[in-house]
Amino acid sequence: VIMAGVSVLEQMRACHEDIEMFERGVIESMIEDPKNHRESIIQQQLVNVFSDKIIDRSEKLVELYEDPDGIKEKEAQKIFGKGRAIFSVFYDQLRDIKEYHRRYPGIQTERPEAEHLLNTFQLEEVSPFSDEEGYGKFLDLHVFFNQFINLSGINNDIHYHQYLDIFYTFPDKHAVKDRNYKEYLSGLWKYLLGFVKRSQPLLDLNDHLNKIEDEWNNKWGSDQFIEVGWTEEDYEEQRKGNYCRVCRKQFSNSTVFKHHFNGKKHKKNASTFNNKMKDIWYLETRINKLAELLLDQIRETQLKIVKKQSKSYMELRADLEEESEDEESSVESDDMEVTKLSKVNYPVGWDGNPIPYWLYKLHGLGMEFNCEICGNTSYWGRRAFEKHFQEWRHAHGMKCLGLENTKDFHEITKIRDALQLAQHLGKLKKKGKWDEDAMEEFEGPDGQILSKKVYIDLKKQGIIK
C-alpha cells in the first residue's frame, strides 16, 4: 500500500530501516538466556512479533520495487536530472522540509517501533494465559472434561488426570457420536490450536496442519481410513458379534450378517453414515495429531494434579509463594552440581558456625536428590535422601498412591516405577498363594498322585470308588 503524501523512495528507505531495526530487536531479545518458563515464552513471542513485522515490511518493499504505476521511476528521474535541474530539485525539496517544520515546530521524533516493542511488550496483551495454564506450561481442560463426562455412551467414572490420557486417543468405542459430541470436539480443537499458537509461537504450525490435511485426504480417498482409537482387530471383533454399526442392527446368525453387506439398504446406509461421520472423524484425527505437539504439557499437567492431591493446603500455599518468588528473582544456577551456599540454608555445625567446605563436599551436601512421590521435593546429600523414605512426607505420598510404604519400595522415587513395582509384587504374591484345588494332593487306587480337583472329578464320574 503506497502512502499518500510520502514519496515512494522515502517509503522504501523507511521499510529498509524498519527491517534493520526489527532484526536488531530479534538479536537484543535473544542476547540473554531466559531464566524461567515465563521469560522463555516472552522471548519467543517477541521474536514471533518481530518476524511478522519483517515479513510485512518485506512484502511492502516487493510491491514498491515492482512499481506497477511507474511512480518510483518518475521520482528517480526527478532526482537524477541534468545540469542545473539537479540543484533546483534538491533546493525545492529542502524548502518544502523547512516549511513543514516551520508550520509544526512542536513535533517530536517518533521512537523506532522495534525499540517501543522491546520496552513496552506485555505478554498478557499478546497471548493471555489463565492461572491454571502457567504461561503455557500446563493445559486447562476442565471445561472440556465436564462436557466429556456428560456425553452419551461415555464411561464417566473417571478422574481429570485419567481424562488427560484419553482426550486425544478416543478409546471409548461406545460413545454416541451425535451433535453434542461434535460440538465438544470443535471446542476442544479450537482450544488446542489456540494453546499451541500461544505456547509455541515459533512453531511452523501451518506446515504441521498441512501435513495432517494431506494425510487425511490420502487415507480417506484410498479407503484406508481407520478411526482414531480403533484397529483392524476391533472391526473384526465387532463383525464376529454379527452387529452392523451402519445399519444399527444385530443379526441372528453370521450367514445373514455377511450377505446383508451386498444389499442396497446397507450400501445406502453406509453412504449416509460415512457422510455424517466424516466431520467427526476428521476432528478426531486432527486433535490426535495436534496433541503430539503437546505431550510434554500433558505429562506436566498430570504430575501437577498428582502433586496437588498429595499435598495439604499449607504446602500448596507455600509452593505458590515459592513460584512467585522465583518469577521475581529469576535466578537459576547453570552448574551441573547445584550448591546453595547462602547463609539461610548452608549447613552448620554443633557450635552454630558453618561447617568447613571440605566437609560439605565430603558428605555430598551439594548433590540434589529429587523424589517425585514426595511432590518433587529435593533432598541435599545421600544421608538425608535415604532417611526421608521413613519420614511422614514420603509415607503420605505412598498412601495417596494407594501403596504401603515397605522396604520393597526403598530407593523408588518415580510414581510410575512405584506403581509398576506394586503390580509386579502383586503378581508374585498371587503365584505364591496356597491354591487348595491345585496344590492339595490325593492318592488314587493304584497309588498315583492326583490333585484335589482331578480326584473329586474322577470320583463324581464313578471311576474312583
Q: Dihedral (C-alpha) 177, 179, 181, 185: value to the nearest 10 degrees?
A: 120
**Per residue in 61-118, pLDDT tens?**
999 888 888 888 887 777 766 666 667 777 887 888 888 888 888 776 665 676 677 6
From CA 295, how far away is CA 333, in angstroms rounded? 27
Query: For the chain, how many residues are written?
Result: 465
- What are the angstrom distances between the C-alpha of 424 and each of 352, 416, 430, 435? 48, 12, 10, 19
> What is the H or E stretch that residue 180 is in?
helix 179-199
- What are the angstrom distances between the C-alpha of 159 and each of 113, 257, 302, 346? 48, 39, 11, 42
DSSP 415-463: HHHHHHHHHHHHHHHHHHS--HHHH-EEE-TTS-EEEHHHHHHHHHTTS
Question: Does the pTM of the predicted model rise above 0.75?
Answer: no
Residue 201's SS3 state is coil
From CA 362, how far away is CA 56, in angstroms rounded? 60
Radius of gyration of the chain measured on its C-alpha atoms: 35
- What are the angstrom distances between the C-alpha of 104 and each of 44, 108, 160, 371? 40, 10, 64, 68
How many other CB atoms are found less than 10 A from the CB of residue 122?
A: 10
DSSP 114-138: HHHHHHH--HHHHS---TTTTTTTS
Q: Tens place of pLDDT for every residue, the chain, 465 residues?
A: 444 456 888 888 888 988 888 888 888 888 888 888 888 888 888 888 888 889 998 999 999 888 888 888 887 777 766 666 667 777 887 888 888 888 888 776 665 676 677 677 666 666 788 888 888 889 999 999 999 999 888 877 888 888 998 899 888 777 778 889 889 999 999 999 999 998 888 888 889 999 989 888 887 766 566 778 776 666 566 555 566 666 656 666 777 666 677 777 776 666 666 667 788 888 988 999 999 999 999 999 988 888 777 767 677 677 666 666 555 554 444 333 343 444 445 666 666 677 777 777 777 777 888 999 988 888 888 888 888 888 888 888 888 888 888 888 888 899 989 998 888 888 877 766 666 666 678 887 777 888 888 888 888 888 776
Checking 391-400 for CB contacts under 8 A at 24+ apart, the result is 396/310, 397/310, 397/371, 397/373, 398/373, 400/306, 400/309, 400/310
**Per residue in 23-65, pLDDT tens?**
888 888 888 888 888 888 888 888 888 888 899 989 999 998 8
End-to-end CA distance of the chain: 106
- What are the angstrom distances between the C-alpha of 417 and each of 131, 192, 413? 30, 30, 8
From CA 342, how far away is CA 349, in angstroms rounded? 15
DSSP 30-71: TSSPPSSHHHHHHHHHHHHHHHHHHHHHHHHHHHHHH-TTSH
- What are the angstrom distances between the C-alpha of 261 and each of 246, 249, 327, 438, 453? 10, 12, 64, 49, 48
> What is the H or E stretch that residue 371 is in?
strand 368-371
Beta bridge partners of 369: 379
Among residues 335, 306, 295, the alpha carbon closest in space to that of 415 is found at: 306
Beta bridge partners of 354: 348
Phi, psi dihedrals of residue 302, rounded to the nearest 5°: -65, -40
- Helices 179-199, 205-221: inter-axial angle, 10-degree rounding: 150
